[in-house]
Amino acid sequence: MKAEGMKTLVVGGNSRNIGKTSLACALIASSRELEWTAVKVTQFGHGVCSSTGEPCGCALEDPECPFDIAVERGEDPGCDTARMLRAGAREALWVRVATGGLRRAMPDVRKRLAGREHVLLESNSVLDFIVPDVYLAVLHFDERDFKASAARLHERADAFVLPAAVNASPPWPGFDLSLLKRKPAFQVEPPTYCSEEIAAFVKACLGRCAAGG
């Protein structure tokens, strides 16, 4: 991944419940003409969802099945992929894998995305397998949790999205605050966690990719 001609946008973040899906939906809604295929990646372990940290139904019913790729039908309007579909995505897929098992799912994910022109993936771990055209990292400095996958990857971000005011001191050990000066950083607020500036930034990046720049 990725196929020739495919443009990819990855939305990740330092923790759960910090606005990643809301940002993804807002970006989809702001550029419906791109006919996005949206992908939500959820990892689970021991009956606990990595997205919420709470017991849930993310785990696969068949323990022998390493992963599942489900097409969103909109039957549960509150789930993240249904929200993406409602925002204007052409289609939405939910990839469920055991923690650390995304590698096994990626060949099938690539097949399912073949022929798609614009793909938005909400995931940190997918960055271990692709080099996206745009990577937005949501950093909520009031949230002390910092996913290991985010900690490894924040230097690859094309821009940062900040739902809360930046603290005067580093919020997490080892985080380089100079990144916020060297790369675009957008302050946002709920409920969309987006802004016209972020949408314009993404479109500009994708436009440069289309032009070969």
Q: Identify the domain containing residue 22 by its residue range.
A: 7-210
pLDDT at 51: 45
CATH number at residue 200: 3.40.50
Cα–Cα distance between 28 and 22 in angstroms, integer? 10
User: One digit per residue, pLDDT tens: the chain, 213 residues?
Assistant: 555 679 999 999 998 889 999 999 999 999 999 999 999 999 876 454 444 444 455 555 555 557 889 999 988 888 999 999 999 999 999 999 988 889 999 999 999 999 999 999 999 999 999 999 999 999 998 888 887 777 778 889 999 999 977 766 667 877 888 888 999 999 999 999 999 999 999 999 999 886 665
Cα–Cα distance between 44 and 55 in angstroms, integer? 9
- Distance between first and last Cα of the chain: 20
Structure tokens at 174: 């080892």
Residue 1, domain member (yes or no): no
Structure tokens at 3: 């196929």
- Residue-wise burial string across 154-184, b where 16 or more C-beta atoms lie within 10 A, e elsewhere: beebbbbbbbbebeeeebeeebeeeeeeeee
Residue 76, domain member (yes or no): yes
Cα–Cα distance between 52 and 57 in angstroms, integer? 11
pLDDT at 23: 98
Residue 72, domain member (yes or no): yes
Q: Count up the domains in the chain and report the number.
A: 1
Residue 2, domain member (yes or no): no
Task: Find residue 138's DSSP bridge partners.
Answer: 13, 161
Which residues 6+ apart lie within 8 Å of 134 measured at CB?
8, 9, 10, 158, 159, 202, 205, 206
Cα–Cα distance between 185 and 76 in angstroms, integer? 34
Task: Output phi, psi for 83, to 5 deg.
Answer: -65, -40
Residue 28, domain member (yes or no): yes
Residue 73, domain member (yes or no): yes
